[in-house]
Amino acid sequence: MTDPTHETDELQLPFGFQFSGIHCGLKESANDLSVILCDAPSTAAGVYTQNLVRAASIDWNRNITPTPSIRALVINSGNANACTGDQGVRDNAEMAATVAKTIGCEPEQIATLSTGIIGHPLPMDRITSGIQTALAEAGSERQDFLNAVDGMMTTDRFRKTHSQSLTIGGSHGVITGMAKGAGMIGPNMATMLAVVMTDWYLPPKVADRVLKKAVDASFNCISVEGHTSTNDAVLLLSSSGGRPIHQTEQIQAFEAALTDSCIALARQIPSDGEGASHLIEIHVRGTQENREADRIARTVANSALVKTAITGTDPNWGRIISAAGYAGVDFNIETTSLQLNGHGLFEAGQPIPFDATVVSDALSSSFTSLIELQVGSGPGQATHWTSDLTVDYVRLNSEYTT
């Protein structure tokens, strides 16, 4: 079985940004505070959790994005600063104000992100001191970027990064992202943070529009256990000194590349699902509309019975078909077919002969388990990614705060 892949070794950093990640004492030893600095006021857009219970950072960012004048992003891990009342709101504002005072701008030009345990006040003495240290150490080298990635991780087993270069209109640019997340992952994002940076310049409204489309096709299509968090956020930072994108075809090319980057980052999250032994990729096709395929794929992705079947490398196709059947989408079982890692199990509404040992071996030998479900001949389709469900998931989450 292949371990989950990530692309740390292929990083290209966009110009116009500096990075830092340090340990300030929120966690025992690992980095727990990160800053990303923009060399000049830049565009920022964001997509945020749909949970009605939100961290202070979420409301702060919603109030300031999209914006053409972001100067920095500060991230802490180990403490979510969620359900912390008025004090949490003041602490979040103090984080922004501390960065702003140090670099010489307004607090509203500073975005904030937090992740970690819910309900604990931030130790602001450590935070404010850590911000000063992190800002002093910020740089534009590869290790500076990796230090910042480390500072946003909690239960992650590996860094989640992606980088790509692209040429638009004869000019060259870079899109590079970092993400964190391994548990409390559900539809409409969940305890996951992602920051994507580019040295292509987009106006705020354009950045907001293309980011929402990219997130819908990526971070909104992953789950681990279906638990939507209080802190989810995806931010897009676009350097004001970058090459401007204005024409429709240029925007479309950038949007496609941004979507690819977001999908690459998003897939790494369920790959690192707490205790996961498989990434499950679910393709649903043949519905009348994409939203119907999306609903079926989400339902299959969140089925504990499907997840545990994959854990046990059991080609129990009945669990997949039945999950599709209760998704609330009207389809004809007589036009439904299913393949698992390329092996046909069910066709035209009927089980077909297959060698269970061969299919089980195909599951056990591959980290990615591919479920392909055809439910008709319509144009609708969707893809979702999730992790399997193991005993280690229960152990890790039962021990998380104790």
Count of other CB atoms within 10 angstroms of residue 145? 27
User: Which uninterrupted H or E stretch holds 364?
Assistant: helix 356-364
- Cα torsion through 9, 13, 17, 22, rounded to 10: 0
Which of the following is catalytic: 154, 191, 230, 336? 191
Cis peptide bond N-terminal to 270, omega within 30: no
- DSSP at 274: T
The full 3-state SS of 16-44, as one line of letters, equals: CEEEEEECCCCCCCCCCEEEEEEEEEEEE
Q: Which amino acid is at 239?
A: S
Residue with tokens 């997130």: 215
Contact 220, 187 (CB under 8 A): yes
Q: Is 373 exposed, middle or buried (0-12, 13-18, 19+ CB in 10 A)?
A: buried
**CA dihedral sign, ordered 236, 239, 242, 244:** positive
Q: Measure the CA–CA gap between 13 and 89, rounded to whole angstroms.
A: 33
Residue 287 among the catalytic residues: no
Q: Which amino acid is at 107?
A: P
Q: Which amino acid is at 240?
A: S
Contact 194, 169 (CB under 8 A): no
Q: Measure the CA–CA gap between 118 and 384, rounded to whole angstroms.
A: 27
Token duo for residue 275: 């205790």
Q: Is 191 exposed, middle or buried (0-12, 13-18, 19+ CB in 10 A)?
A: buried
Q: Which residues are catalytic?
A: 191
